[in-house]
Amino acid sequence: NAGVTQTPKFRILKIGQSMTLQCAQDMNHNYMYWYRQDPGMGLKLIYYSVGAGITDKGEVPNGYNVSRSTTEDFPLRLELAAPSQTSVYFCASSSDVGSYNSPLHFGNGTRLTVT
Amino acid sequence: TQLLEQSPQFLSIQEGENLTVYCNSSSVFSSLQWYRQEPGEGPVLLVTVVTGGEVKKLKRLTFQFGDARKDSSLHITAAQPGDTGLYLCATDMGRRALTFGSGTRLQVQP
């Protein structure tokens, strides 16, 4: 089982460049999420989606955009990279949220450095 | 404002010792999940607690949900180097996404 697949694993961007972080899941989950994790910290929610065509902002959405055209894919777009966006980005999916039988399944992350 | 407070932030112990980490909030949880994250990987779910006063055991790990459902603890008995990692609690806070605490980083020295 592939689960949640994120690409690329690592990326270095110059200030002002743009890029798309890819995320795909093969578990037919409706819910998908993007979190960022700064060094030594927990996870902060950037955007989430409860199904194809539906997205919503999390705690720290500024500087990012998302789309959800299919159930499987949930790409995260950085338009004008800034040093403050240096972080590890995790994509996750679940069949529901917070309930007993719906854990979040995470990818292995994309480590992004903006210089 | 951190909705979920975890303590301690960092813990370094010797193999064989016991430890307890905590997750607290001023809000009532509908449910609470504990995750463990190892270096270079995404978090993995350990347990979900739902009922106030609930106690769940996972081998040497014991999870407790407070009676008022505002706090939870994770106790590890006879810690091993394989327990090393970042322990995160998370809850939905009534939203359609999980909010995570800042985590407790555990280092178990052999």
Domain region containing A17: 4-114
Question: Do A31 and B99 count as a contact with CB atoms less than 8 A apart?
Answer: no
Question: Do B97 and A33 count as a contact with CB atoms less than 8 A apart?
Answer: yes
Q: How many domains, chain B?
A: 1
Select the residue of A40, A41, A97 nearest B98 (Cβ to Cβ). A97
Select the residue of A40, A59, A99 nearest B31 (Cβ to Cβ). A99
Q: What is the CATH number of the domain that holds A49?
A: 2.60.40.10
One-letter-per-residue 3-state SS of chain A? CCCEEEECCEEEECCCCCEEEEEEECCCCCEEEEEEECCCCCEEEEEEEEECCEEEECCCCCCEEECCCCCCECCEEECCCCHHHCEEEEEEEECCCCCCCCCCEECCCEEEEEC
Domain region containing B33: 5-109
Question: Do A104 and B41 count as a contact with CB atoms less than 8 A apart?
Answer: no
pLDDT, tens only, B9-65 = 999 999 999 999 999 998 888 889 999 999 889 999 999 998 899 999 999 999 999
Per-residue pLDDT of chain A (115 residues; tens, 9 = 90+): 679 999 999 999 999 999 999 999 999 999 999 999 998 788 999 999 999 999 999 999 999 999 999 999 999 999 999 999 999 999 999 988 766 568 899 999 999 999 9
Q: How many domains, chain A?
A: 1
Residues on chain A touching B105 (C-beta within 8 angstroms): 40
